[in-house]
Amino acid sequence: MANVLWLQGGACSGNTMSFLNAEEPSVVDLVLDFGLNILWHPSLGVEIGAQVEELMNKCVSGETEMDIFVFEGSVIQAPDGTGNWNRFASRAMKDWVWDLAHAAKFVVAIGDCATWGGIPATAPNPSDSTGLQFLKRSHGGFLGADFVSKAGLPVINIPGCPAHPDWISQILVAIATGRAGDLALDDLQRPATFFTSFTQTGCTRNMHFAYKVSTTEFGQRKGCLFYDLGCRGPFTRSPCNRILWNRVSSKTRAGMPCIGCTEPEFPHHDLAPGTVFATPTTLGLPNEVPPGMSKRTYLTMVAAGKGSAPQWAKDDIFVV
């Protein structure tokens, strides 16, 4: 049995809502089949106020063993914790986070806010929000670059806005069943099993990308979303087109561009006017080209693809 304590800092509860929709395995399966004992969770716990504080004190002291500390939301570092959502009035949330992270065997950050700071850490960041061990791409965050949990691992980052429910549940299973040592983490401390390939992998619009057949409207079933609508699929590491949402679809399959929410730079361009759902270009060429490709190579590929695009690549393949 693995004891799990889940806290929430500066967040919208999106990752909790995602987690509660997990299917492989479900939250019920996590408890009944994989031995997760949820000590407390903001939406699942029945204890309130002083009862929760007592439980957390026992976790910090070691009286109650805490195998996994899960944190959702940004760590707000405003003076004395001001501005922080905090139902534990005797201490600021950031102080609880510090003590609990150092008492836990494993620490897992869920969602962009907990991993990189997310939207709350977007400039000018008046709340001084940060992620547990990163602030955007800068290593350090709230706990510091040298932090390791009692099991000897840094914070395990599962980013996303929100994170896919199965990314969360499967990582919790790996830890609970003693396979945390098999988790290969990338340079941003994300599980490599989920964050090695790009969102573009498995995208049903790859042929449109290759032939530079673009779409300029949301919800269309044909055309690439990269050239005009700012799709981040070629730059974003996630399995969203391999592990579908609700086992049905993904943003790009539904005709919406990937917003790159598993990368530290999210929200990209700091949500400046004119940059959302738009592809920044210079002389008609995107300012960013897919990783591993020079602009010269990209220009050659685009010219060749556009010039040889067959009619069927431009037609709606779903029309009967």
Q: How far is C-alpha 164 from the geometric centre of its chain's CA atoms? A: 8
2-194 and 197-315 in the same fold: no
Yes or no: say if 131 and 74 are a contact pair by the CB < 8 Å rule: yes
Domain covering 197-315 in this structure, CATH number: 4.10.480.10
In the chain, domain spans: 2-194, 197-315
Task: Give dist(CA 219, CA 215) in Å, integer.
Answer: 10
- Host H or E run for residue 52: helix 50-61
The per-residue pLDDT for 252 is 94
Residue identified by tokens 């067959």 is: 310
Query: Residue 89: which residues within 8 A CB-CB, separation 6 or more?
Result: none
The per-residue pLDDT for 305 is 66
Which one, of 203, 206, 173, 218, lies nearest residue 191 by Cα?
173
Cβ neighbour number for residue 301 with a 10 Å cutoff: 16
Q: Which fold has domain 2-194?
A: Rossmann fold (3.40.50)
Task: Give dist(CA 236, CA 226) in Å, integer.
Answer: 12
Kindly give the confidence (pLDDT) of every residue in the chain, 320 residues in length, as a single tens digit, with 9 standing for 90 and above.
899 999 999 889 999 999 999 988 888 888 888 889 999 998 888 777 788 899 999 999 999 999 999 999 999 988 766 655 555 557 888 999 999 999 999 999 999 999 999 999 988 888 899 999 999 999 999 999 999 999 999 999 999 999 999 999 999 999 999 988 888 999 999 999 999 999 999 999 988 888 888 898 999 888 999 989 999 999 999 999 999 998 899 999 999 999 999 999 998 876 666 677 888 877 777 788 888 777 777 777 777 766 676 776 667 665 54
Q: Whole-prediction pTM value? A: 0.91
